[in-house]
Structure 1
Amino acid sequence: MTRILFSGGQVYDGTTAPAAPGDVVVEDGRVVEVGTDLDGDEVVDCTGGFVSPGFFDCHVHVTLDAPSVMQIIETPFSLQFYAAAANLAATLATGVTTVRDAGGADLGIRTAVERGLVAGPRMQLSIIMLSQTGGHGDDWGVCGGDVPFFVPHPGRPSGVVDGPDEVRRRVREIIRAGADVIKVATTGGVLSPHDDPRHAHFRDDEIAVMVAEATAAGISVMAHAQGAEGIKAAVRNGVRSIEHGIFLDDEAIDLMLERDAWLVPTLHAPRAVIRAAEAGLPLPAAVVAKAHDVSLAHADSVRRAHEAGVRIAMGTDCGVGPHGTNLEELGLMVDAGLSPLAALHATTGSAAELLGVRRDRGTLEPGARADLVVVDGDPGDVSGLRERVRSVHLDGRRVDDRMPPRDVRPAAPDE
């Protein structure tokens, strides 16, 4: 077998240990040696940069592109699948080699990636987000009609449910559809104009049923949770990760520590909404106002959670913002108080542990899958990472040199 040597730069191994000069040897798709003065049959020159495990994004929506109601209405149903192919390619080209789709992608999209029909990162799926009637995933409009972000189809059932019996059946349907994780909205959100991010959604018995059914299937639950009461309800009932966590209070942080729950901050998301509105995307005024309202509280919650020791994994909500901008999240995490090393760990080893793939990837150690990224510059600086990515490798094979430019995105219908 060919030995591929990544040599001449620093090695960041995906743990909390700082990077150091060294080499990585890959053979048959796996890391076989990490050290100094190693040899290989082929050499990838890392001089002036560092080699890292491929990055993770634990919260994306690959079928979305900064949606507005009018864009959704004017977009043909099947375009989402072609958009997903472009979005997956843009994500992989930026160095993200594993994603967890937080709603929208179905089993066919993941299968297309696995079979090599489209280029993209490895995927975990939630299929659709569970929402109570009138909740963050209920797309009913005051006109009396529905304009769903995710139109139900045979591979993606509706997520609107009420009561433990409906919840149980729908979770089973979502698992049948191929879900690797169950997603629930335990609070309102920003992009849904008629609910409040601070309000708790679903009652304890409903959330407990979701967790029980997921646990029986060997998977976990992730919760869109922005207000403190909805966060606490989720964690109290066994949810594994809190997505967003905008209005964390001290009790919620203590409960997350007690129950060993993760925080996936998605600091990128509200800022992307604000930028989209400033660029002219026709978003409801209530949505834009909420995006402004949550931004300061969001960073403060992440800072306090990190200082308390809550485990953090990187996620962006890309799809709300442009795909391929995923690595901006690391700079935002640093602005919120994480060190550059902690931010890198959040998007490698910590994220791999959250997704349950820590034994397969997320670190550079013998036996790990050789999903790697080579980045120019020093790992102590996470600013401008997107522009610094030199090469991306899956199973040791370079993949970014055969893909479209990183800023590729589908055109909106009126462009």
Structure 2
Amino acid sequence: MSRFRESYSQRPSTTTFIHAGHLLDAKKGEWQTEMTLIIEGNKIQSVQKGYKTPTGQINLIDLKDQWVMPGFTDMHVHMETEYNPHAYVQKYVDDPADVAYDSVKYAEITLLSGFTTVRDLGGSGINISLRDAINKGKVPGPRIFTAGKSIASTGGHADPTNGSNQKLMGDPGPRQGVINSPEEGREAVRHRYKNGADCIKITATGGVLSVAKNGSNPQFTIEEIRSITQTAADYGFHVAAHAHGDEGMRRAVEGGVKTIEHGTYMSEETMDLMIEKNCYLVPTITAGKEVALKAEEEGFYPEVVVPKAREVGPQIQGTFARAYKRGVPIVFGTDAGVFAHGKNAKEFGYMVEAGMKPMEALQSATITPAIILNMENEIGQLQPGFYADVVAVTENPEKNIAILEQIDFVMKDGVVFKN
């Protein structure tokens, strides 16, 4: 960590040249050969053909034998947590400081895995402080866009008191992220704004890992969803909707959400509606596979969770395949935190296995997230004026997509974190 603080606080004032043997033009979906990236501070100054020779006080990074790409974006992570057999007890045992220390570890692991930007879709609010600490250079980690606390209905997937005894359960409201009317939905969005969130996350249906029986029933009315999305728009937020069941998913799309997370039991009608509304599917195939595996480990999940994990987990990849083939907009997202942080890149392999072209998978984690985050002129491409977020591997990912699980080089904001 001390090396990080030194390198980050003393950001190089000199120019950095990167000689890239193969450079990805993410927008065109093409590889350029023998290119030079010229970086000033935390931004790319120019991209030039050929290996340009630096002069003076200039850093030179030789990636001539590498495939060089923009840093990846994972649009569904939970930076505060990582599921384990004790996770359901830890929320009653761990102090906020314990969660914060863990989140710092998970953030660094994520960055070193090649993900220079993430969208955090729900925690205790410590995710907001983590974002700020990273932005100030206090700790290493990806650029974070966070929803802060998720919004649920009473007993819904993100009700923070699910699984508690009657004494601890209480009656949480909009401030805690629990709403039961359009009016409370508006209030909850305003609390997220007050607390410093960047976007809004709702749980439109039941979920797999919540201590509640149903994993897919609709949990908001269309009026409640519309009140949330309309208020979110007033504050410059987009809305992500966790959804497994089709009815809750359809209401979320009709109600104006920008992304559907998981989409497990999505019908063709809902797929067509997503195409019409330009609503993106965030597949989280890795999470589906991981929870199905963990459900077979005795005691890993509470008994009420196990049948949901066994049923829902194996469905997600097949739904993704059908949605992709039908033309539903896709953006990369894994649900890291449900499984171990740092394994995010496994999602690329599962997407390709289900029929997506490798280049499209790369674009789903670069240029597409940038559009949703309103950062299309700042991240997701290696172009002049963009942040110097650069990753590299030793093989062509189009020929071996699994190589993305072995990132050799990571630069974020012009600072090298892995080489």
Paired position in structure 2 for 1:89 = 108
Q: Could you say if the C-alpha distance between residues 146 and 323 of structure 1 is closer, same or farther in structure 2, counting changes exceeding 3 Å?
A: farther
| One-letter amino acid of the structure 2 residue matched with residue 80 of structure 1 | V
Q: Does 1:339 align with 2:357?
A: yes
Q: Could you say if the C-alpha distance between residues 338 and 289 of structure 1 is closer, same or farther in structure 2, counting changes exceeding 3 Å?
A: same
Partners of 1:189 and 1:195 within 8 A in 2: no
Using the TM superposition, give the Cα deviation of residue 60 of structure 1 relative to its aligned residue in structure 2, in angstroms: 0.7
Q: Could you say if the C-alpha distance between residues 133 and 396 of structure 1 is closer, same or farther in structure 2, counting changes exceeding 3 Å?
A: same
Using the TM superposition, give the Cα deviation of residue 145 of structure 1 relative to its aligned residue in structure 2, in angstroms: 4.9
Q: Distance in 2 between matches of 1:85 and 1:191?
A: 23
Of 139, 145, 150, the residue aligned with 1:118 is: 139
Gaps of 5+ in 2: 1-12
| One-letter amino acid of the structure 2 residue matched with residue 103 of structure 1 | G
| Range with greater deviation from structure 2 (298-307 or 208-217) | 298-307
Using the TM superposition, give the Cα deviation of residue 168 of structure 1 relative to its aligned residue in structure 2, in angstroms: 1.1
| One-letter amino acid of the structure 2 residue matched with residue 27 of structure 1 | I
Alignment of 1:297-336 (within 5 A): 297-336=315-354
| One-letter amino acid of the structure 1 residue matched with residue 383 of structure 2 | E
Of 45, 48, 61, the residue aligned with 1:44 is: 61
TM-score (norm 1): 0.89
Alignment of 1:126-275 (within 5 A): 126-138=147-159, 139-141=161-163, 143-146=165-168, 157-275=175-293
Paired position in structure 2 for 1:357 = 375
Paired position in structure 2 for 1:7 = 19
Using the TM superposition, give the Cα deviation of residue 35 of structure 1 relative to its aligned residue in structure 2, in angstroms: 4.1
Partners of 2:22 and 2:33 within 8 A in 1: yes
Partners of 1:244 and 1:263 within 8 A in 2: yes
Q: Distance in 2 between matches of 1:46 and 1:78?
A: 40
| Range with greater deviation from structure 2 (212-221 or 60-69) | 60-69
Q: Distance in 2 between matches of 1:281 and 1:178?
A: 37
Q: Distance in 1 between matches of 2:101 and 2:312?
A: 32
Q: Distance in 2 between matches of 1:146 and 1:334?
A: 45
Using the TM superposition, give the Cα deviation of residue 271 of structure 1 relative to its aligned residue in structure 2, in angstroms: 2.1
Q: How many residues matched?
A: 395
| One-letter amino acid of the structure 1 residue matched with residue 163 of structure 2 | G
Partners of 1:185 and 1:225 within 8 A in 2: yes
Paired position in structure 2 for 1:31 = 44
Partners of 1:95 and 1:392 within 8 A in 2: yes
RMSD: 2.2
Q: Distance in 2 between matches of 1:53 and 1:217?
A: 29
Of 42, 59, 69, the residue aligned with 2:76 is: 59
Paired position in structure 1 for 2:99 = 80
Of 74, 95, 107, the residue aligned with 2:128 is: 107
Q: Does 1:17 align with 2:29?
A: yes
Q: Distance in 1 between matches of 2:46 and 2:397?
A: 21
Q: Could you say if the C-alpha distance between residues 353 and 198 of structure 1 is closer, same or farther in structure 2, counting changes exceeding 3 Å?
A: same
Q: Could you say if the C-alpha distance between residues 288 and 9 of structure 1 is closer, same or farther in structure 2, counting changes exceeding 3 Å?
A: farther
Indicate the SS of the match to 2:247. helix
Partners of 1:99 and 1:122 within 8 A in 2: yes
The one-character-per-residue Cα deviations of 1:269-302 (angstroms, maximum 9, x if unpaired) are: 1222234445565312332322221233211211
| One-letter amino acid of the structure 1 residue matched with residue 90 of structure 2 | Q
